[in-house]
């Protein structure tokens, strides 16, 4: 290994392990603040678009910790936007699946990605109510609670399961068209309210695909590395301008990738 590669690997590992510990603390904080089951306990940013006290508290805590440890790094967070720029950039969704969180459900997570320039190099998705932590460092594999994970080997569409993300930014006609396409393929549709966890499900083989018309970089930054390391196929989210604006994503299991890509009208990278 060249000297420069060795130093780069160390820079990424150092950041990853520090961040993993910080996100474990942040996950405990979020869990301790989770509302009890019931109607949504949150502020509406727009129709079906929630923010809770925990979103803000987790983002502030993670930002403060990371910027103290790595003052030259950039940071993008869902609630506070872009805070700083740098060669390394952290991308945080403090609570992904806020609509679930706000009703006391379990399907939500904290998602933290690390990019070097514009390349995602490490990712952590911590879902404390599910007791699941997905992780990856570029070139070193993807893991769920420390065990290696891989995208499903599904070949027969009649056995496949595909999730479609919904947000208020999705036009009704698009949703109807894509749901019909998935059903016509023989696939089973799902929509469970957390983009990051839906992508993690593709990475670990629980699902064969995830499609969302427009999704933000903080929802997908961690998952992009986890998916690649798990041998899933992904649309070229960053090349399509995904850092600057919300963009389409398709992630699929490898053996049915071309069929899903064609049927759903989204090219893969
Ligand atoms: C949302 C969730 C949802 C997805 C949206 C996201 P939030 O994030 O991931 O499943 O469809 O695109 O914005 O609001 O829960 O952080
Ligand atoms: Ca989110």
Q: Are strands 81-84 and 88-96 parallel, antiparallel or unpaired?
A: unpaired
Q: Is 96 labeled as ligand-binding?
A: yes
pLDDT given at position 3: 77
Q: Is 201 labeled as ligand-binding?
A: no
Given ligand 1 and candidates 110, 170, 215, which is best to mutate, with the most ligand atoms within 8 Å of its CB?
Answer: 215
Ligand nearest, relative to CA of residue 221: 2
Which mean pLDDT values do the consecutive 10-residue runs of the chain (269 residues) have?
A: 81 97 98 94 88 94 96 93 85 97 98 97 98 98 98 98 94 96 96 98 98 97 98 98 96 98 97
Backbone phi, psi, residue 142, to 5°: -120, 150
Ligand nearest, relative to CA of residue 194: 1
pLDDT given at position 84: 75
What domains, with CATH codes, occur in the chain? Answer: 3-148 (3.30.540.10), 157-264 (3.40.190.80)
Ligand nearest, relative to CA of residue 101: 1
Which atom, in ligand 1's list, is nearest to the CA of 195? 9
Stated pTM of the model: 0.96
Q: Is 231 labeled as ligand-binding?
A: no
pLDDT given at position 7: 81
Q: Is 95 labeled as ligand-binding?
A: yes
| For ion ligand 2, residues whose CB falls within 5 Å | 93, 96, 219
pLDDT given at position 200: 99
What is the 3-class SS of the chain, one letter each residue?
CCHHHHHHHHHHHHHHHHHHHHHHHHHHHHHHHCCCCCCCCCEEEECCEEECHHHHHHHHHHHHHHHHHCCCCEEEECCCEEEECCCEEEEEEEEECHHHHCCCCCCCEEEEEEEECCEEEEEEEEECCCCEEEEEECCCCEEECCEECCCCCCCCHHHCEEEECCCCCCCHHHHHHHHHHHHHHCCEEECCCCHHHHHHHHHHCCCCEEEEEEECHHHHHHHHHHHHHCCCEECCCCCCCCCCCCEEEEEECHHHHHHHHHHHCCCCC
pLDDT given at position 30: 98
């Amino acid at each position: 290994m060249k000297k420069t590669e060795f130093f780069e690997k160390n820079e990424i590992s150092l950041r990853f392990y520090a961040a993993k510990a910080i996100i474990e603390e942040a996950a405990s904080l979020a869990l301790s603040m989770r509302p009890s089951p019931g109607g949504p306990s949150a502020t509406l940013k727009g129709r079906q678009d929630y923010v809770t006290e925990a979103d803000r508290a987790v983002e502030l805590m993670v930002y403060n910790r990371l910027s103290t440890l790595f003052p030259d790094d950039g940071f993008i967070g869902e609630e506070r936007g872009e805070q700083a720029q740098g060669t390394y950039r952290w991308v945080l969704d403090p609570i992904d699946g806020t609509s679930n969180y706000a009703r006391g459900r379990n399907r939500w997570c904290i998602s933290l990605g690390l990019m070097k320039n514009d390349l995602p190099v490490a990712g952590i998705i911590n879902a404390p109510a599910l007791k699941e932590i997905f992780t990856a460092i570029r070139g070193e594999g993807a893991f769920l609670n420390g065990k290696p994970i891989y995208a499903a080997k599904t070949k027969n569409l009649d056995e496949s399961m595909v999730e479609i993300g919904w947000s208020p930014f999705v036009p009704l006609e698009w949703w109807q068209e894509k749901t019909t396409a998935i059903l016509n393929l023989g696939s089973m549709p799902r929509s469970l309210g957390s983009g990051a966890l839906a992508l993690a499900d593709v990475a670990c083989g629980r699902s064969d695909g995830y499609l969302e018309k427009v999704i933000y970089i903080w929802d997908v930054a961690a998952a992009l590395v986890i998916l690649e390391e798990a041998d899933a196929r992904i649309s070229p989210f960053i090349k399509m301008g995904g850092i600057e604006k919300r963009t389409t994503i398709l992630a699929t299991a490898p053996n049915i990738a071309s069929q899903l890509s064609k049927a759903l009208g989204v090219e893969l990278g």
